[in-house]
Amino acid sequence: MRFYGLSEQRVKRVIHTPKRIEQGIAPKTVAMLQTAGSKKHPYEIWVMIQDKKDKRKIISTWKYPGITKAGEPLPEGILMEMQDADLC
């Protein structure tokens, strides 16, 4: 969250009102997104979560510059970050 300058409240807002929900790349995860920015400089805020029993665990958060299409694979840079964090 700190790397991308995302506050706790902003991440919670993505979780509570996502624009799109997709299957996460890590086992048993879900990725949620909201669009942000301006028409000239759009970006997406993604949050990957994992639900366990009575808890919801935030696995990762990131900003993607631009707009993705539903079902489109994640960019290599994001995949590399997640592999470094040992999430894949």
Number of domains composing the chain: 1
Average model confidence (pLDDT) for the chain? 85
Residue 67: inside a domain: yes
Which pTM does this prediction carry? 0.78
How much is the pLDDT for 8?
A: 92
Q: Is the pLDDT of residue 34 over 80?
A: yes
Question: Model confidence at 66, in pLDDT bands (50, 70, 90)?
Answer: confident
- Among residues 84, 86, 78, the alpha carbon closest in space to that of 47 is found at 78
Burial class, 55, CB count within 10 angstroms (exposed 0-12 / middle 13-18 / buried 19+): exposed
Residue 2: inside a domain: no
Which secondary-structure segment (H or E) carries 11? Answer: helix 8-16
Residue 3: inside a domain: no
Domain of residue 27, CATH code: 3.10.450
Question: Model confidence at 32, in pLDDT bands (50, 70, 90)?
Answer: very high
Between CA 26 and CA 30 the distance in angstroms is: 8
Question: Model confidence at 4, in pLDDT bands (50, 70, 90)?
Answer: confident
Which secondary-structure segment (H or E) carries 7? Answer: none
What is the residue range of 22's domain?
8-84
